Chains A and B, each alone.
Chain A
Amino acid sequence: MDPHEVRRKNFPAPDEFPFFSGVAFWYDSGRYEDALDSTLARVEELGWRQMQADARAEGRSVGIGYSFHVEPSAYGPSRILNLVGLQHSGFDEAVVRIDPMGKVTVYSGQINMGQGTHTIYCQIAADGLGVPIDDVKVVTGDTDSCPYTGYGTGGSRAAPLGGGAIIRATVRLKEKILRIAAELMEASPEDLVIDSGIISVKGSPDQNVSMQDIGDAAYRRLNERLPVNETPTLEETDVYDPENMATSFGCAALLVEVDRETGVVKLLDFVQTDDCGTVINPMLVDGQLAGGFTQAFGGALFEELVYDDEGQLQTTSFMDYLIPTAMEIPRFEVIHQETPSPHVPGGIKGVGESGTIAGVSLVGSAIDDALSDIGVTVKRFPMTPMRLLDLIREAENGEVSQ
């Protein structure tokens, strides 16, 4: 049976979600078949199959591999994490504060390690409040001023959970802003809109107040400006403990060429349809994925700690431990598909590991395909040239590869 048929038979249909995993959590939402179809269509468009046929006609071994992945992200409901034995929880806390000048500061327990967390938090807060992104500042890493996190930065939780807490805080804060603006303009909060930090009456944009006016009314000149039932200051804290995890997914395809005389595998081209729910920032998602792909190809082909028979580590420097460079990786193409999470605010899912998951089996299946005429099945990684040459020779001599 065609491997894609096996995949199709096993995919839950979009209306079967949330789909119980059998243990502790649900696959929250998915359009798995769409992701597969999108990748297959792109492979067709790129002409890989023709390239493969042409290469074969010239006696070269070109193969196409596929790998479908699901990334459980947004770890996770605190009580379930405890239930499965973890000694930590899974909530995330955010504080969103607007100062008397109407500028916004987000405090989070998350840490940015290069993923662009600050950028997406600015986007989320600006979007949630309706203020310019330049008016938002993010503070992390200061344990005196920042709130707690149930777990920290890992399990692809910074965007869905840290971000989810910010969204929920901004929802309440925005309501307060509108109530104060309504008081200032003698209007009803339902009739107001915020755009680029200006709160105006729907349909009559000339009737407006600024975020600075709101800050002034909440912190300084309260009398007859801040509604009487309203607490001074503009600050919301949100602790978000999700009811479920969020499952990102995707389908990757890889074009490789195997040199049968050397066992060297060359990565020629790469496509992944990736679905991490709402894409907050496509460039940052691409960046997370590109790093993941590269790391996965390192695991598939290069990175290894080698011990000798006496247990001595032979891999002692970065001349021995080979991390792929720009020269070893193919072009990366990401097709974004968006199936929002039904339970996470904003529909956000995580993407921190979606790049690495597929890579190793992807390389394996592409090599298998390149060598399908002699029947090689790659089962061990990294698949170094020496190991692959052994497999090729065994297969050519009619031995069964192990």
Chain B
Amino acid sequence: MPVLAEALRHVGHVTIRNRGTIGGSLAHADPAAELPVALLALDGKVVVQGSAGTRAIGAGDLFVGPMTTALEPTEILTSVRIPRPDAGTGASIVELARRHGDFAIVIAMALVHLDGNGRCDMVRIALGGVEGAPARMEAAESGLLGAEPSGAAIEAAADAVAAGVDPIGDIHASESYRRDMTRVFVKRALAQAVERAKGGVA
């Protein structure tokens, strides 16, 4: 999964990546962190253990708000499981930050698999940095499912994502700039994922 390495390149700087852990980043649940977005797009889950025993939490249920997960106070995250994407899946993660390594204004990650007719039979889009928690963009995904991923279809999906988000605003990116950039980066992630799916590069 080379896309995981691509995701990590955006995390801070070398020293930060040396010290930080994957479990720590997921448990920390920063809304603008890369690994939570990757876990969502790759449809992974975490295994947590507490006084009441062990359970698995799917990515979609893990991130409940800014810096907040579904872990109970007595639980710790003990492992991360990521299913291997089907052969031929194209993946892409792109991000906008003011400086390299800054927390993202927008992180968009997309996974696309095409059937024999060049139509999408699997699409996953995950977004970070835009709202209080990272999330899958399911409405836009289903819009692309079964469709040929043409430029227009990708634009439409990106528009749908941008129209559906409720962006945070700060001094680096106003709400409307974040919404605009959501559209641009979802489009770029999808376009690259499709390109890679066509070329057979994950």
Does B99 contact A322, Cβ atoms closer than 8 Å? yes
Tell me if B173 is interfacial: C-beta within 8 Å of chain A: yes
Which residues 289-331 of A have a CB within 8 angstroms of B? 302, 306, 314-315, 319-320, 322, 324-325, 327-328
What is the total number of residues of chain B having a CB less than 8 Å from a CB of chain A? 16
Q: Which of B13, B100, B102, B177 contacts A389 (CB 8 A)?
A: B177
How far does the alpha carbon of A315 sit from the alpha carbon of B171 in the complex, in Å?
A: 8
Closest to B188 in A: A261
Type the 1/0 row for A316-352, where 1 means its CB is closer than 8 Å to any CB of B: 0001101011011000000000000000000000000
What is the total number of residues of chain A having a CB less than 8 Å from a CB of chain B? 18
Interface residue SS majority, chain B: loop
Does B100 contact A328, Cβ atoms closer than 8 Å? yes
Tell me if B146 is interfacial: C-beta within 8 Å of chain A: no
Total inter-chain residue pairs, C-beta < 8 Å: 39
Type the 1/0 row for B56-83, where 1 means its CB is closer than 8 Å to any CB of A: 0000000000000000000000000000
Of listed A384, A385, A386, residue having the most chain B CB within 10 A? A386
How far does the alpha carbon of A320 sit from the alpha carbon of B180 in the complex, in Å?
A: 21
Tell me if A262 is interfacial: C-beta within 8 Å of chain B: yes
Does A306 contact B98, Cβ atoms closer than 8 Å? no
How far does the alpha carbon of A319 sit from the alpha carbon of B171 in the complex, in Å?
A: 11
Does A325 contact B100, Cβ atoms closer than 8 Å? yes
How far does the alpha carbon of A322 sit from the alpha carbon of B13 in the complex, in Å?
A: 15
Closest to A393 in B: B180
Which residues 253-275 of A have a CB within 8 angstroms of B? 261-262, 264
Type the 1/0 row for A367-400, where 1 means its CB is closer than 8 Å to any CB of B: 0000000000000000011100100000000000
Whole-angstrom distance between the Cβ of B14 and the nearest chain A Cβ: 11
CB<8 Å pairs between A and B, sample of 19: A262-B181, A262-B184, A264-B96, A302-B99, A314-B171, A315-B171, A319-B103, A322-B99, A322-B102, A325-B13, A325-B101, A327-B99, A327-B100, A384-B98, A385-B98, A385-B173, A385-B177, A389-B177, A389-B180
Interfacial residues, chain A to chain B (CB-CB below 8 A): 261-262, 264, 302, 306, 314-315, 319-320, 322, 324-325, 327-328, 384-386, 389
Interfacial residues, chain B to chain A (CB-CB below 8 A): 13, 96, 98-103, 171-174, 177, 180-181, 184
